[in-house]
Chain A
Amino acid sequence: MASSGNRTSTMASDLQGLRRVSRLAIYVAIGAAVAGLERLVPTPLPWIRLGLANGVALIALYSMGFQAALIVNITRALLVGLLFGTWATPALLLSLGGGIAAVIVMEIVRRMGQSRIGPVGVSVSGAFAHMLVQFILASLLLVRHGSLMVLAGPSLIAAVISGVLVGVVVVVAVDRIPPHLLSGKRSLSVSGE
């Protein structure tokens, strides 16, 4: 039999866990929704996209930490695969690999950069890692031929540009979201603290 004090603390941690799961689910849903919308926008090459879904991972990383961002990106990639018919295809592996690499690199840059590198730099490094890993996986899994790398340079340039745009959009947007909706230890806000 648990004491009443124990029970309240269990309830409090249950509530915290519930809040965490709910917020993760919202991030996954928003990420999948923007990924779906981006598919409607024509680009010169199908894998060049604005990458707002990665912006959602960026918000998750700053507001909930590394593990949460990793969960968000993996779950989002699986959900998008189910929704848009790339389930059990190499395309799913590419987006999973890219998404995982992006979160790992973003966390490393965020930690190492401390106050010198902000969300924009973290976003750029994530976009770059995402594109690079997709190219490495594609040449290993799909093409097995070095010539795919001809497209890597221009795609990486596009990734840096979209990384800057997404970083700026995320910071500007987060500044306008009421703080209680993004309550976390580490905030992305540039006007906070």
Chain B
Amino acid sequence: MTERKKLIRTGDVVLSVALILVAIAVTLLTATRDPGARAVIRVNGSVVAILNLDQQETVGVEGDLGVTVVEVIDGGVHIISSPCPNHTCMKMGFVRMKGQMLVCVPNRVVVVVEGGEQEGVDGIVG
């Protein structure tokens, strides 16, 4: 009879701590605190609308299931109505920081908050 095996062994603790450190590192590396400038709305991966976060605006975009209504108000963006069954996208609430997003998987609508800089150009050297 060998000695009684422990419920949680040293290796379990080392592995769990290592993985949680990796996850925290990923969180810190991807987190942004810059307010966004624009909300880019994509349906099935292609851009259908770009909203300026400075203005108040409401648009409806046609997805696979129907129309998703996106509203920009007070520098943030949220989805106010959606034809999807779970309304997960509506429950995601407001997003206003660069890199944050709203996703409606069933209707294939993705709203991404982007910064003020122009996409695709890192800089122009004269």
Contacts and interface: CB of A to CB of B under 8 A. Distances in A.
Nearest to B22: A156
Contact of B27 (A148, A157, A168): A157
Given A147-B99, A157-B20, A190-B6, A117 B11 contact: yes
A159 B22 CA distance: 12
A124 B86 contact: no
A128 to B, nearest CB: 5
A147 B101 contact: yes
Interface string B22-55: 1111111111100000000010010000000000
A193 B1 CA distance: 6
Interface string A116-128: 1110110011001
**Most A C-beta atoms less than 10 A away, residue of B27, B29, B32, B108:** B27
Nearest to A156: B23
A149 B30 contact: yes
B72 to A, nearest CB: 17
A164 interface: yes
B19 interface: yes
A118 B16 CA distance: 12
Nearest to B100: A150
A153 interface: yes
Contacts, number: 112
B122 interface: no
B89 to A, nearest CB: 10
Contacts of B20: 157, 160-161
Interface in B101-123: 101, 103, 105, 108, 110, 112
B15 A145 contact: no
Nearest to B113: A147
B31 to A, nearest CB: 7
Given A113-B11, A116-B11, A128 B19 contact: yes
Contact of A120 (B12, B25, B103): B12
Contacts of B105: 90-91, 142
A183 interface: no
A126 to B, nearest CB: 11
A192 B32 CA distance: 49
A150 B101 contact: yes
Contacts of A115: 5, 9
A170 to B, nearest CB: 11
Given A46-B86, A118-B8, A143 B26 contact: no
Contact of A153 (B12, B28, B45, B101): B28
20 contacts: A116-B10, A117-B15, A118-B6, A120-B8, A121-B9, A125-B19, A143-B103, A143-B110, A147-B101, A153-B23, A153-B26, A156-B19, A156-B26, A157-B20, A160-B16, A161-B20, A163-B16, A164-B16, A191-B5, A193-B1
